[in-house]
């Protein structure tokens, strides 16, 4: 079972081919680091998975009903609202339920059920029934866990609980990056796409992020220049080079050993081919008049 895929995918910018018939399956629970030389298109590959870009050929898609959250390298947040409001944006339905629950509680506490007048007992019964229905839905959809999750994640990325009331417009560039990371994580999607997630984080926040990802039940694909972070959180490596995606079913250190061995084998093969070409050209020069030329 897979939750996302590249299937014979091709994509290019003018004069720069990023993917050339690339294929990769992403499974539930995968912890993948996408690596490769600078400029090979690692961020572009994440944008294709997120649906920001469409492939020129082949197929790149999230399968079934899998949910995706994407942390981009550069973020543009509006200056409206508070930090808490920004974190609660994905949970607008739960927020509406909470507002309605609070309104019913207030009416019942004041002895003024909705539709009071003739038959107040009936109106109060209707309010109680509605309250029970909303409370069950709120609990089923994780409403009681969301607030705790928001507070934990704000702490994990380096904010104090008192920062939740701060206007987004007062945040620095680094703080906005940390807020966007918390927004992506709080959704708990089936697939996380993380582009340089340790940017703007101090060492303590990086360690907390490592602990969070170690417990994460979904899958993630990340791009990072922080090799220590990759070693700590990724079980497998996907290399993007020459337009292809190559999966290595082990961690970063073993990948480096395998990559260096592969490069050495390629160099040896190149030198062997070059020697053959040189000998052939020398034979041709010495036998220009011969029938074998």
At residue 78 the predicted structure's pLDDT band, cuts being 50, 70 and 90, is low
Q: Count CB neighbours of 67 within 10 A.
A: 14
Q: Side by side, which strands form the sheet with 191-195? A: 68-71, 191-195, 219-223, 31-35, 236-241, 244-248
Q: Mean pLDDT over residues 123-134, rounded? A: 82
Counting other chains too, the contacts that 255-258 makes at CB distance below 8 Å and 24 or more residues apart are: 255/35
Strand ranges (DSSP E) for the chain? 4-13, 16-26, 31-35, 57-62, 68-71, 191-195, 219-223, 236-241, 244-248
At residue 206 the predicted structure's pLDDT band, cuts being 50, 70 and 90, is very high
Backbone dihedral region for residue 116 (phi beyond 0: left; psi -120 to 50: alpha; all else: beta): beta
Judged against a pLDDT cut of 60, whether residue 238 lies above it is answered with yes
Q: Percentage of the chain with pLDDT > 70?
A: 92
Which of helix, strand or coil describes residue 108?
helix
Q: What is the pLDDT of residues 251-266, one digit of tens each?
A: 999 999 988 887 887 7
Q: Mean pLDDT over residues 14-37, rounded? A: 95
Residue 87: its H or E element: helix 83-87
Judged against a pLDDT cut of 90, whether residue 187 lies above it is answered with no
Compute CA distances 242 → 19, 40, 41, 162, 239, whole Å: 8, 8, 10, 48, 10
Question: What local confidence, expressed as pLDDT, does residue 6 receive?
Answer: 96
Question: What local confidence, expressed as pLDDT, does residue 239 receive?
Answer: 96
Q: What is this structure's pTM?
A: 0.77
Lowest-pLDDT range of 13-22, 130-139, 241-250, 278-287: 278-287
Question: What local confidence, expressed as pLDDT, does residue 77 receive?
Answer: 59
Question: What local confidence, expressed as pLDDT, does residue 123 receive?
Answer: 58
**CA angle centred on 66, ends 62 and 67, rounded to 5°:** 100
Judged against a pLDDT cut of 70, whether residue 113 lies above it is answered with no
Contacts of 95 (CB under 8 A, 6+ apart): 88
Query: Sign of the C-alpha dihedral, residues 2, 183, 157, 137?
Result: negative
The three-state (H, E, C) secondary structure of 201-244, written as one string? CCHHHHHHHHHHHHHCCCEEEEECCCHHHHHHHCCEEEEEECCE
């Amino acid at each position: 079972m897979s939750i996302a895929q590249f299937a014979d995918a091709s994509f290019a910018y003018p004069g720069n081919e990023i993917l050339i018939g690339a294929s990769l399956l992403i499974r539930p629970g995968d912890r993948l680091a996408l690596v490769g030389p600078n400029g090979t298109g690692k961020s572009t590959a994440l944008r294709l998975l997120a649906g920001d870009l469409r492939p020129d050929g082949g197929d790149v898609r999230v399968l079934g009903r899998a949910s995706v959250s994407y942390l981009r390298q550069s973020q543009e947040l509006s200056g409206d609202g508070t930090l808490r409001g920004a974190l609660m944006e994905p949970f607008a339905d739960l927020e509406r339920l909470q507002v309605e629950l609070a309104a019913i509680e207030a009416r019942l506490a004041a002895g003024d059920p909705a539709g009071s007048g003739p038959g107040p007992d009936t109106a109060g019964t209707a309010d109680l029934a509605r309250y029970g229905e909303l409370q069950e839905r709120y609990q089923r959809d994780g409403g009681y866990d969301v607030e705790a999750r928001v507070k934990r994640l704000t702490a994990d990325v380096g904010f104090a609980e008192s920062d939740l009331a701060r206007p987004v417009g007062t945040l620095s560039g680094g703080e906005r990056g940390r807020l966007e990371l918390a927004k992506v994580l709080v959704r708990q999607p089936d697939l996380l796409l993380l582009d340089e997630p340790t940017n703007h984080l101090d060492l303590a926040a990086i360690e907390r992020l490592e602990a969070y990802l170690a417990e994460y039940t979904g899958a993630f694909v990340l791009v990072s220049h922080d090799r220590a972070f990759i070693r700590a959180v990724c079980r497998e490596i996907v290399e993007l080079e020459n337009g292809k995606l190559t999966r290595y079913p082990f961690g970063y250190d073993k990948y480096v050993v395998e990559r260096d061995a592969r490069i050495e084998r390629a160099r040896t093969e190149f030198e062997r081919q070059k020697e053959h070409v040189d000998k052939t050209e020398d034979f041709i020069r010495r036998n220009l008049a011969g029938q074998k030329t």
